[in-house]
Structure formats: structure tokens, C-alpha cells
Amino acid sequence: MIGAIIGDIVGSRFEFNNTDNFDFKLFAKNCAYTDDTICTIAIADAAMKRMPYGKVLHRWCRDYQNPMGSYGCSFAGWIASNNPRPYNSFGNGSAMRVAAIGWLFDTLEQVEEEATKSALPTHNHPEGIKGAVATASAIFLARTEGKEAMLEAMKEYYSEWPEPRLGSFHFDETCQGTMPMVFGIIDKAASFEEAIRYAIAVGGDSDTIGAIVGGIAEAIWGVPEEMQAQAMRYLPDDMERVVAQFYSRIKSDI
């Protein structure tokens, strides 16, 4: 999960000001966590507590109403509602928040089921569900079977992946527009840091591409300790606690 948070924080300053410089500074003063981290934390919290995903997501987003970059218009309306309902979204928000589910469950079938549940409160469009399930399944398969087996399985979800050329990607907030690039990046990268750098330097929705790529890349390569430490400095105490609980639950260091 820290991989997704790192991707979000590193990409935050480039979301509306893209870079094609592969050697950019990873952590800067104008980086911050965004809605992607808030939602990732919320889904992890819900999954660990076995509470309804929508209820916990709504509470966390109500507690953090003004993140860097703000929330999307439809999702902001969902947060503001006292009786929130799904709005048939196929945006990439369902995929960026699901990283913890790929670690917290023991079978691929459970991961697919829980990823679907995590998407449904907002992203009940088939493409929105597909993006969440593909991301969580990729994380599960990467950590249990390895990168190549995972990529082969992902072809059932997205059969064609673009070459991640620097500065080549346009701003696309849909799952069907984002996810093929995610797997193109994972296919090309040879390390966690390289994956994050490609995710940002291709352009587009930088923080969200970074979050999705970072979550999958963590399951393949792990995360350098210094990058973990730097990212944690950006988080408030309640988010830090959820991250610590998550890694205690999966019996891994953070």
C-alpha cells in the first residue's frame, strides 16, 4: 500500500503540470498526499475492520474535504450527500484506491470479490469495477506468482498496452484509458523507482497513474526503505496509524 501512497505523493505536483523529465526529483516541498491517498487509506481501513467500504470511504473523505488537487466533481457530490448513492462511474478512482485488497485476502477469488465491493459504492459501471478488480488482482498475482505470470493474466482484462514514451500520454481519468498504460509501464520497468518515474514522466493524470503503478510495483519489487520513510513524513497521524496497522496485519515491515 505504501507503493500507491508514494506514487500519489510523487505525482501530486505534476497532475496539472506534467513533466517528461525521467530524472525529476521524487519528493519536493510542493508534493502532498491527494484524494488518492485518502481513498487508499479508507479502503484499507474498511477491509481490515470488515466494515462497509462505502461507509468508511465516505467518513474518511468527509474528514479530509480539501486535499491537494481536490476531488472530482461527481465524487465531491457523493461526499457531500447525506445519502450517497453510486453514480455509474468508470473513472480511475476505483483502481487507485484498491491496493490494500490485493494483500489482505488469501485467494484470487476473494480479492476479486472484495475489489468489486470496494468499487460499487461509487463506480458501479462495468468498466469501473473492471479497473478495481484488475488492479487488486494484479497485486495479488504479482506477490504470489511473480511479474510475468501477473502480466499474462492481465491480458484478459486489457489486451493491448501502449509503449510508455515520455510525455506521450494525455489526461484521461477513465479506467479504460488509464489501465492499459499502467500495465505498459509495469511491463517496461525493472524496479520500483523506475516504475514510478515512468508513471509520472509519461504525462497525464500523474498522481493517479503513480498510485496505481506504485501499488502494483510494490508487490513485484518491494519499496526502498528511504522512499517509504520520505513518504510517511507527508501523512497525518491517523493515516500513519492505518498504514502501520496494515503492515502489521500482513506481517511486513514499514
Smallest CA-to-CA distance from 10 within 109, 136, 53, 22 is with 22
Q: Is 251 exposed, middle or buried (0-12, 13-18, 19+ CB in 10 A)?
A: exposed
Q: How far is CA 42 from the centre of its chain?
A: 12
Lowest mean pLDDT among 14-18, 138-142, 184-188, 223-227: 14-18
- Long-range contact pairs involving 189-195 (C-beta distance under 8 Å, separation at least 24): 189/217, 191/221, 192/3, 192/217, 192/218, 192/220, 192/221, 192/222, 192/223, 192/224, 192/227, 193/26, 193/224, 193/227, 195/221
Model confidence over 115-132: pLDDT tens digits? Answer: 999 999 999 999 999 999
User: What CATH class has 2-249?
Assistant: mainly alpha
Give residue 69's pLDDT.
87
Flag whether pLDDT at 254 surpasses 70: no
Mean pLDDT computed over 120-147? 99
Confidence of residue 252 (pLDDT cuts 50, 70, 90): confident
Query: Mean pLDDT over all residues of the chain?
Result: 97
